[in-house]
A and B are shown apart, each in its own frame.
Chain A
Amino acid sequence: MTSAPHAVLVVDDDPQLRRLLRTTLAGQGFRVIEAETAGRGLIEAKSHKPDLVILDLGLPDAEGHAVVRGIREWSSMPIVVLSARVDEQQKIAALDAGADDYVTKPFTVGELLARIRSALRRAAQPAESGELLQLGATQIDLARRDARGPQGEVHFTPIEYRLLAALARHRGAVATQRQLLREVWGPEHVDQPHYLRVYMKQLRAKIEPDPAQPRYLLTEIGIGYRLLAETDQ
């Protein structure tokens, strides 16, 4: 791993939460930079170029998705957003704008750290199309469009491969419905989520040992899907 500790920018207006995150992250070996407002956050992001941004969506001076868009204009650094439970739309907007993942308040530190680690891993190893996906007992070669499971070969349709590729691209983060629909079916189909549902069901049926209790193709209700490969478990 890198020798220098990762720098994490915490953008949150609540001082208690900032203190908690500072203590926790510092204890895990991260270097923490703090910002109280969105404006300050953008400035700190530009000047310090952190490895990851933790962004609270309830900031007083700006909408979360606007800040994400602001950062995404010049950087692809991983962003994890903190959201209050009730505001689904805020969360989805931030994710659609380019945030990698989200954590809902109140959260346990374990959850947060898991998300942070996923996001950092993803940033460190950009997904290549030639990657091999190991989902439990199934191994999928996205480049060659080939898959092997415990019972032998597994057939995936072209769209299913495209969906798997899209999910793989978002590995370590959550992919929103919009993102997946756009990437797999194109912008005209962003309002037809049932396509996505049906195909996800098909994928689960082919990959998951118990489709009703999935381990690799996880659903984030109301938001989207998350791919957890063997290495991510």
Chain B
Amino acid sequence: MEERRADPDALLAAVQAEEHRARRGKLKIFFGATAGVGKTYAMLEAARAKKAEGVDVVVGYVEPHGRAETERLLEGLEAIPLLMLRDGQALVREFDLDRALARKPQLLLVDELAHTNALGSRHAKRWQDIEELRDAAIDVWTTVNVQHLESLADVVAGITTVRMQETVPDTVFESADEVELIDLPPDDLLQRLREGKVYVPEKVRVALENFFRKGNLIALRELALRKTAERVDAAMDRYRVTEGIGAPWAAGERVLIGIGPKSDGESLVRAGKRLAAALHAPWIVVYVETPDLIRLPDAQRNRRIAWLRLAEALGAETVTLGGHSAGAELVGYAQTRNVTRVLLGEPSRRGIARWVRPSTVDHVLARARGIDVTVIKTTESMRIARSPLLARSAAYLAAPPSAKRRWPGYAWTAAAVALTTALAWITDPALNETNTAMLFLTAIVLLAWRFGRGPAALASVLSVLAYNFFFVEPRFTLNVADGQYLITFGVLMMVGLLVGHLMASVRLQARVAGHRERRTALLYAMTRELAATRETTGIARAAVRHIGEVFDAQVVVLLPGKRGRLACPRAADGPPEPSSLRGADLSVAQWVQDHGQPAGLGTDTLPAAAARYLPLAASDATLGRLGVLAVLPVNPRRVLLPEAAHLLETFAAQLALALERADLAERAQSAAVAAESEAVRNSLLAAVSHDMRTPLAVIGGAASSLAEDGAQLDAQTRRELAQTIVDESTQMTQLVSNVLDMTRLESGRSVVRPEWVPLEEVVGSALRRLQRPLAGHRVTTHLDDAPALILGDPVLLEQLLFNLLENAAKYTPAGSHVSITARRGVDEVELLVADDGPGFAPDIEPESLFEKFQRGRVEGAIGGVGLGLAICRSIARAHGGDIRAERLPAGGALFVTNLPQTAEAPTVPREASDE
């Protein structure tokens, strides 16, 4: 075997499958050919051994079959009490899934994988219960017979002539981690049967006498052995994939099964499954919708639904195509999908009928190039005993209720024929007989084109009669002298019918295509609207509207809130919530949300629910489930057809995408905000570290001088060095405070606590702090024009004034005048800090002063990071106001802060003055 690199996609699939298996509970199936081989017994024995090893084993449901030996094995094993359900008149005992989930044992024994649960259980089938148990990471052991496997159901039916009602999808069997074959030679089994050791329900005892014939048993045993061997094969393949030994897909086969209204769909689908499995190839089941479909009775139409769902259950991709010629459609599709093999049922027509009107098989054979065509003989051939013509007319009589509308057509036809006859009569002398016939032909074609099949037929018949009666010798009788005319009649009839048929088909095609196109247009419309909507409620609303329109249903989109719990949307101005989607149905939706699987109408979980619930899943599993779409259709059929179900899923997928996009956009935005504040912090840190170095260097130098050479220095020098240290540390403190203030203000953590702030005190406090820097300046205050108390945060406002005054002290020479004025404005208070110093440089834009790290002049001896004014602006803005800078005409700088005042200061009651 040559070494090959493993196909990465296949490897990834294998790894993912492995991970999935590792997380899920393990399933072990005790597999047997028939009832009575001893599966339950073997399971219980093995379970007891496990229990002895210390594993937590619990019995979920075991059918004791009335056998003492089995009863004995059950002793000592903990059992979950069974659920009592009412099934019609009787009370039945069923496996209690919820209790089992609550108990959460390591290993759970649940007999009879193929069992159908009674009404009232959560799932329709026991295998679904087991799937849910596995999802909850509980290991499960179960039993099943070979006849219960879906893909083998018809083979078994062929062997035993007994059709199994309860089946298990092959996917479940194949997903089992271990399958143990309990084998018993047929002779031993028969012996057991005779000894009465095999449990058989009384009511079917007689029917099953047939079942337990030796021939059957041998065949069934072989089936079971083969199935087990297949599993080994599959395991081998997986091994090969992971080890990179040989590629199973090297042949790259792809199988297409074509079924139509007349096929035996079920057998074909099952045959397709076997073929696909044998070839290890993906398979597609294509149903071609020809114009015949519309006129089939309902029962037959529903069959196609059943076939397609069966195909899906067996693991096929299903597609429905529409077209006039099934063969052409199939081949065309096969070529686009790179199909290598087409499987068809045997044609229903034989012999000459087939030669005259080739069947689909013939069409396909003629067109298929490079594609193998396999024709299956089915066990039950469906033969339409009636001839095609009669079949059509029979279906015709059961036609859709447009009969009323047709009457005008017929009336018109009769009139037209009469008119043509009259016309022909008038022109009779001028035209020869051939051309008279042409007149009628023209009439027929026109009528067929205009009115369709029925009137066309009528036209043909009437025309022939009229022609015969009025224009063919002998006239005015229906006799025909010259036999040639019979040919004429024949042709007239045929043309009429043909054109009518053609027109009808074309119209039908157009209608079908119109329907499809409309659906696609609706999907496009929804997608487009979703693309334009940004936020979640808008998206949900758009989806509700569109989906409701397409499926003629009430639609609700449920979005998860905290902790993944769904809540009914609060429809403030949206569509009203349907009354059924409340309470109990919210729990169904919650189940769907938790498990990520559809439930409700048309699914296997809670099929009795009125609505269908679809999970909305994100493309990336880490984002979690986005919500649940609930659809309550007026006509349940709209949702049941696989095609409709697919369309619904497509809509749901679009909705999920849009929701995901909205969610991601939100995250992106908050990430951008976080990134920005990160950037601000970083720039602040950079500036700070730069501006701290100088003072630190000075402090370090001075301090080390004092420490090392202190003794050698004179008192004056020592004092100077010490003072330097004090000054520089003050500087650094100021710097650090500024930076801290800035970050706090920017991050929004600094809460403005508005209270009634005495302006005078704030000013006084700021001035006191700056006593030394302002010592050489002349400071005046004018606060009488403003209210005594203003609304604001005292600490922040003091800081604002401090920064402004410090700036004034720093940037003006000694002796300058600094004035602080407060003015009352309309709903605001203005604080003006002015100086008569040099002001700021002429090329500086006043607004730019308030940017971070800005200085009024080139950095030089004047230290400070340049945050002072930026902080002032942040404080002013935090109060709902702002600050601006102006050059004074006489020279100097002016800073105006305006603070909105939204309320009147409270008054204090005057008290009677003493003395």
Contacts and interface: CB of A to CB of B under 8 A. Distances in A.
Given A212-B763, A212-B783, A222-B794, A199 B788 contact: no
Contacts of A218: 764, 768
A30 interface: no
Interface stretch (B256-264, B308-316, B471-479, B753-761): B753-761
A145 interface: yes
B758 A156 contact: no
Interface string A210-233: 011110001111100000000000
A195 to B, nearest CB: 5
A12 to B, nearest CB: 19
14 contacts: A85-B740, A86-B744, A88-B795, A106-B729, A108-B726, A145-B914, A159-B911, A193-B755, A193-B756, A194-B905, A201-B761, A219-B761, A221-B762, A221-B798
Nearest to A158: B914
A232 to B, nearest CB: 15
A194 B789 contact: yes
Given A155-B913, A157-B913, A212-B763, A221 B794 contact: yes
A197 interface: yes
Given A212-B783, A213-B768, A221 B761 contact: yes
B781 A221 contact: no
B549 to A, nearest CB: 59
B915 interface: yes
Contacts of B908: 194-195, 198-199
Interface in B98-113: none
A212 B764 contact: yes
A123 interface: no
Most buried by B among A193, A204, A212, A219: A212
A86 B740 contact: yes
Interface string B769-810: 000000000010101000011000011001000000000000
Interface size class of A (residues with CB under 8 A): 20 to 34
A106 B789 contact: no
A220 B767 CA distance: 12
B767 A213 contact: yes
A193 B740 CA distance: 28
Nearest to A211: B760
B833 to A, nearest CB: 13
Interface of B: 726, 729, 733, 737, 740, 744, 755-758, 760-765, 767-768, 779, 781, 783, 788-789, 794-795, 798, 820, 905-906, 908, 911-915
A194 B909 CA distance: 11
A209 B915 CA distance: 23
A197 B609 CA distance: 70
Interface string A85-127: 1101000000000000000001010000000000000000000
A200 interface: yes
A195 B910 CA distance: 11
A106 B906 contact: no
Given A194-B905, A194-B908, A204 B760 contact: yes
Which are the 7 A-B pairs with shortest beta-carbon distances? A212-B781, A219-B761, A197-B758, A194-B756, A222-B795, A198-B908, A221-B765
A221 B726 CA distance: 24
A194 B906 contact: yes
B534 to A, nearest CB: 39
A210 to B, nearest CB: 8
Q: Kindly name the residue among B781, B794, B820, B908 whose own CB sees the greatest number of chain A CB atoms within 10 A.
A: B908
A214 B765 CA distance: 9
B528 to A, nearest CB: 53
Nearest to B781: A212
Contacts of A222: 794-795, 798
Contact of B788 (A85, A86, A198, A213): A198
A85 B740 CA distance: 10
Contacts of A212: 760, 763-764, 767, 781, 783, 820
